[in-house]
Amino acid sequence: MNALNPEKQPLLALVNRETPLDPTAYEQKGGWRGVRRALAMSPAEVIEEVTKSKLRGRGGAGFSTGMKWSFVPKEPANERRKYIVANGDEMEPGTFKDRILVEGHPLQLIEGMIISAYAIQAAYGVIFLRGEYHLGLERLQQAVEQARAAGWLGKNILGSGFDFDIHVHPSAGRYICGEETALLTALEGRRANPRSKPPFPQIGGLWGAPTVVNNIETFSNIPHILANGFEWYLGLSACEDGGTKLYGVSGRAKRPGVFELPLGTTLGVILNECAGGMQDGYKLRAFLPGGASTAFLGAEHADIVMDYPTPEKAGSRLGTGLAILLDDRTSPIGMIRNLEHFFAQESCGWCTPCRDGLPWVERLLIEIEEGRGTEQDLARLKDAARLIGPMGRTFCAHAPGAIAPLDSGLKLFAEDFAQHIRRSTHTDRAGDVSERAA
């Protein structure tokens, strides 16, 4: 993590992964101001404040948070059952930002959920956490108990008449649970399969009730927006959308990690100034700008603006904002094969393109990587990218996300694939000659 300025880096300013703040210490450092202000406003005014802040979801989709909340029916919490859910099922390769927040500052998340619940008038909240985050689970459960004992959760919060409580739920450990409808299905005690939409969760979510699902980083922004106002939050950004972003770098960087910077910071700043540049003897060849389910961009994009529209114009997505680097000594085919292995084994099996297509893609990549590939195998990979990749052919975005590094890699690393095919063809011919000579 980079050196912190509480005014410019609010999300990480109070993070302490050794000893997180308790409710009293948090209040002494300015915590709970967002809740106090929110409860003095109407729910509609809170939604308007968040909408004006131009906060977009930090889990990968980048949808307007305030707009998402506005779709929820407006009945008061005591008249209709509604839920708020924090998505902390952080299982995408290369993404590890939410772990820092739940281990180092869980009360920030809890305050954000209280404000969000008040905005949509939900009486119940769930934090759905990746099952392997054992320390994060312990810290969250402790923070929830502390907040409840201090009166920040439970009945009649701050005498406002608003009731809200939180349950922490560890995931069973499947990547597909990060898809919001599969997450809700898992919470209901069923196999984590995604649902067909509509209805969207804001209308029919957990147990059929209106539900808002947001990423942990998204919720962690909410207290700062309410405490300081939307204009302050807009001023943190380097682009049209508001706030800071937790950016990250993994791969052959000198100082891989997570860094809080203005939304719209360039990758060049993130990589060279925060992560220390590439390790000695290595050069950047390409990168996935926002986790494993985004498309490769070449080194010529190394100074790209890391906002929402710019990577899309370049052919990829911001995603979670945590870049995975490919250096000049690592086989791109091996990297893609490794990613497709992950996506194939993590498919829920609900859709044919995912269930059957992704294992097939992995087998073809293994053949090519191990020197047995043919031109026909390469053509089949291209067909798979064309047929499986487009959105709308599956119940969720798992298959399109899985195909993104493959489709872009087939184009960007075409010569690497061709060399592997030529090498396997040459080896086969040499073997035929040897057999005939014998």
Question: What is the model's pLDDT at position 141?
Answer: 97
Query: Tens digits of per-residue pLDDT, 137-162?
Result: 999 999 999 999 999 999 999 999 99
Asked whether residue 287 falls in the same domain as residue 411, the answer is no
Q: Is residue 93 part of a domain?
A: yes
Confidence of residue 434 (pLDDT cuts 50, 70, 90): very low
Q: What pLDDT, on a 0 to 100 scale, did the predictor assign at position 352?
A: 87
List, for residues 370-386, the tens digit of each pLDDT value. 989 999 999 999 999 99
pLDDT at residue 429 tops 70: no
Q: What CATH number should be reported for the domain holding residue 409?
A: 1.20.1440.230
317 and 339 belong to one structural domain: no
Within a domain: residue 133? yes
* pLDDT for 437: 37
pLDDT for position 106: 98
Of 281, 300, 327, the residue that ends a domain is 327
- What is the domain range of residue 262? 252-327
pLDDT at 1 over 60: no
State the SS3 of 323-375. EEEEECCCCHHHHHHHHHHHHHHHCCCCCHHHHHHHHHHHHHHHHHHCCCCCH
pLDDT at residue 427 above 70? no
At residue 335, the pLDDT reads 97
Handedness of CA 214, 218, 222, 223 (dihedral sign): positive
Give pLDDT tens digits for 300-358.
999 999 999 999 999 999 999 999 999 999 999 999 999 999 999 999 888 888 899 99
Question: Token pair for residue 64?
Answer: 């307007």
Asked which of 309, 327, 345 is the last residue of a domain, the reply is 327
pLDDT for the residue 433:
36
CA distance 169 to 176: 16
Residue 133 scores a pLDDT above 70: yes
Q: Are residues 307 and 336 in the same domain?
A: no
Determine the average pLDDT of the residues in 260-284.
97
Question: Per-residue pLDDT averaged across 196-222, rounded?
Answer: 94
pLDDT mean over 248-256: 96
Same structural domain, 26 and 98: yes
pLDDT of residue 61: 84
Three-state SS across 171-219? CCCCHHHHCHHHHHHHHCCCCCCCCCCCCCCCCCCHHHCCEEEEEHHHH
Does 169 fall in a domain? yes
pLDDT higher than threshold 80 for residue 54: yes
Q: Does residue 19 sit in the same domain as residue 102?
A: yes
pLDDT tens digits, one per residue of 92-127? 998 999 999 999 999 999 999 999 999 999 999 999
Q: Are strands 211-215 and 257-262 parallel, antiparallel or unpaired?
A: unpaired
70 is a domain residue:
yes
Model pLDDT for residues 77-96, shown as the tens digit of each residue: 878 899 999 999 999 998 99
Q: Which pLDDT does position 436 carry in this prediction?
A: 34
Pull the structure tokens for residue 356: 């059957």
Q: Are residues 309 and 345 in the same domain?
A: no
Q: What share of the chain is helix, strand, coil (3-state, %, to 5)?
A: 50, 15, 40
Which residue, of 176, 208, 235, is where some domain finishes? 235
Instruction: Count structural domains, the chain.
Output: 3
Q: Are both 317 and 416 inside the same structural domain?
A: no
